[in-house]
Structure 1
């Protein structure tokens, strides 16, 4: 295939180091990007949303006042390598307790992270120690060092005035069209290490994932949005495979990019990676036009596990990233 390797990241044939990449998002979408990107580079940083309020994360957040650890844990697990140590520890931190007691539903990794935060009194240090324990190929950082609340304006399907829906779980499952999202507090401090990583990166990747509750909240942190706009890094967006989630029901691929543009009108893109099914019918032409308006190359590849699957294949997505990076880097800035 040439170009960037898909396994064993290291120096390329001309001796150049692999690209430094920052991936932003949360949940399963960010895990998909990280699982692919770690085949290209070990100079990898995940910047993770901290607005989750459901499940084990929500319980720990409410009881202890900590950052919701779940999405951070998932990012760390995605960066574990494929050796026995990495596979074992990935399974351990992802393990959830069963039974009917107070531990029911908690994951081992969530509890371990909270324990490190309490012992070290340092969120980033706790994440770095857990990454070291797991042998993670990269670093995981929160987008802010304070827990956040995401809220959005939702217009009912039947029309009428919009209503404010508050909270990640409530917004993700709300019926109607999400018109705008924001955070509480409205101007939260960004994690300094995350800002540094964005400014020093060669590439910044947004998506895939829950568009309004995992991807776009990064654009609602003023310092982080400014860093994304001023960094010398190239910028890539990865689109979702489907629009079946409640928060994006009925949205086309072009609509996803238009929502990003509304929340960050000055953000320019260099590449948009999408599954080749996005090019079918009129939706394909609309997507090409929006990409052109944003200054981005559209990279259409088969990135799903199969023609009907709604899950990204790590190796196919890695190959798409490689093509996007090499294609954009060959063009003048």
Structure 2
């Protein structure tokens, strides 16, 4: 795994060739480790290191007055403060726990098998899997308040209110550790979203920003046959894409006459959020015959407007809105899953 938390091509190559090397003490668990590694790695699409090349800046775009003005509008950094609604958090946690907290009694699963040993090898003739559930309840229960306080940093009063009003405490005796773990998970998830609901961004000042020169000092690499699209409108001579969805948007930017220039925002362009940093997808300039110039930052993940987007991702995008609002009306932040519909809306609203 590299320093950005992504699976390396070295690991993908080993998995693809069934040549993953493991320390001797882990050999007994090889199948489990390999299966988990493949799941994390996704498609074993391995790039040839010999195809790797440096992507140069498109100086015609990078040095243009239009790009300088676009960057001037989005470059500033912000800080955030949070108003925390304790009562709202308690109610959301209670509702989630009542609806979705599932706790089973502890169980022991064992498997019994009969083998036939013959000249041709060993075969399994019979396989029996049995689960035994615990029936006795513990008399000495763990300190749930201290556990949840350490996991969530909430006050004991708030935790007590959540446990009482959720009407789920009868599940605690059934499986104490499972109940505590699941309750901590639910509270933590609702806390993250509640924090975002009450967040306010403030521009730090005129001296805190991402300098345009960072494009020159941070090298960009790509693989010509794998993840690069040649560009005449981007800040680089090629756009490096991470998915087919990004490749599709880049191609549409190139082909649409209303898009004068654009940039795939680099990974060092980060917006702070309570859930970790957020890196939007694109910045672009729409210009029609020089009559009006509009500046946008776009988030274009596949299915961006559907319910399938993970809550943490949705919350970070919501923080993106607040960040750009704090910079004034110089640039608009939009979530887009259909480029044609986006352009049609912009042309209609602004009568370009």
TM-score higher than 0.5 here? no
More relative contact order, 1 or 2 (CA 8 Å, 6+ apart): 2
TM-score (norm 2): 0.20
TM-score (norm 1): 0.21
Structure with the larger strand share: 2
